[in-house]
Structure 1
Amino acid sequence: MTINDVARLAGVSKKTVSRVINNSPLLRAETREKVQKVIADSGFAPDPQARGLAFRRSFLVGMIYDNPSPNYVVNMQQGVLDAVRGAGLELVVHPCNRASDTFLSDVRGFIVRQKLFGVVMPPSVSEDERVIAILKEAECPYVRIASVSLDEPRHMVVTNDSSGAAEAARHLAGLGHRRIAFISGPDSFRSSHERGRGFAEGLAEHGLTLDPAYVRVGAYTFESGVEAARDLLAMADRPTAIFAGNDEMAIGVMKAARDAGLDVPFDLSICGFDDLPMASRVWPNLTTVRLPIRDMGRMAAEKLTASIRGLDAATLTQPEVRPSLVVRDSTAPLQGS
């Protein structure tokens, strides 16, 4: 079957079939339904390469990321796929390393070679203005996911990480903890700073300060959580609660606590951030700040594909995510004094 065959069987022009395939709003409902029925009955599938040539751009959505948490990346991919599959697009991912000497040239090559329909960028690539300059130069549409607004509303999904971290601080302080430690993510991630800022603000509401002696810098990885926690738990006045900047590090803290012979949560309360699937599968179940990562990916991709759905991206509001605390079994009131 070809597009010409579909047009003949539906009694319409080839151009009308093309509009149906590309979800153009410039069609009457009965015409669209008639063509869609012929497509469904015949099993016709449009050639994505031919479509790309016609539009001078491929029907691929790129996801460019530099994130050490594989669970975060998989959840984000699922969200993007939720949106692009219904728009006749495919997802192609480009993992990268922002610290590499070839980072910018690799990103530029990826965008140019693929002739991408558009790009979704989670942190920390979304925070890199050099990448934005490359995308603008290539006239490639993009949507950024970040903890604060960094661009025009049509280019942003904002996650408000600081408000979620403040909830974690209120929870731990409300349980009576005073020696509370914080393991941040890498300095190169804006989310690390936003989560640290929000956590300090939440503690201040309870008359507490975030003591620099109880702060460690991690890498958003399980291993860095283990290492940072071992250092904190070796202190003479060890913390009675630890807030880790993501769930992978928080689970690393759990391992370090068990290795030290401590009971979680009665000897040490632990709180994470993200609410990845693993948070409810470890024991004790992890108290954490829920960030709807899959929804974030879907929101970004829906904004990117607005034109296909007959919407004007410039008129769309800026989606904002509000993190929320999920209290499970890894936190408890301060024991003893």
Structure 2
Amino acid sequence: MLHGSMYEHYNKIGGYIAALKRSSPGSTIELVTDISTHQNPPVFKRLFICFEALQKGWKEGCRKVLCVDGCFLKTFLGGQLLSVVGRDGNDQIFPLAWAVVEGENNLSWEWFFVQLQMCLYLGEGDGICIISNEHQHKAHRGEEMKLQFWKIAKSYNKADYTDAMDELNTMNPDAATAFKGYKPECFCRAFLDPSFRTDAITSNMVETFNGYIINARTKHILYMLEDIRANLMQRLMLKRLDMQKCTSTLCPKIQMKLETEKEKAANCDVTPSTETLFNVNYCLDQLVVNLEARTCTCRKWDMLGIPCCHAVACIFFLHKEAEDFVHES
């Protein structure tokens, strides 16, 4: 539990919450007090906030991916801020909800997820991908081991994953055994469900948000919450204005990723089988592209919804525009 003179300001916290609910009646704002102390005013314990505009924005314009993490509040009162961030259609972070809690423990996280489940109507979580952080395992160190770890984790398909795992086993059999023990199917791209349209396997999105509010985290709870609210309101407005200025068919960051694939497509050798099925040689790899199904055996197109370089080469072979083959979501 948090402790300190914060509780003398309980009435101010209650007034702040009441003001938020009046200004945004559809928002989810839940305050929990510690009733075991029998104090009057009650002792503050937890507070969850998810504004209606953020709920609506995530449901209508974001991928069904949630990244969660916690960070310390940098005051003498202690406590932590739990937050959840999504990814919008332009592949940028979309802060969704946050909560002030007594600390990172099973009870506070369970309460946080229950609040999130209710305000977003997540049900049993079907069709939702949740990314969380895990403590680093430092049994096997070294730059070479680190690079190999990421090579395995970032492999888009099981063939590349297997090859990278074999390389790790040759380098260090114990490390390979330990890697498999961490359930790679939970964090390696080769095992991700492509329907989520993301290749994110780290909590970088929410860590970016934690850095974005680092100054606010040094302030009293009321000033911190108001800073977060005001900063996000300004951020959403600026992002909206940027998108209104956009004249391209695709979102800017999606277009940039597609342009990168177009450049690599020059190194692909395309052999057509039918009007929609192609064999593609790229470096030492041989891949199959199906333009009708919008798939490639590399799985990158399947996972991101953006044509990979192999697919782009086939699209150019037919003298068509790659932008027309980007998934609408």
The answer to whether the superposition gives a TM-score over 0.5 is: no
Q: Which has the higher contact order (CA 8 A, sep 6+)?
A: 1
Structure with more of its chain in strand, by fraction: 2
Q: TM-score w.r.t. structure 1 length?
A: 0.27
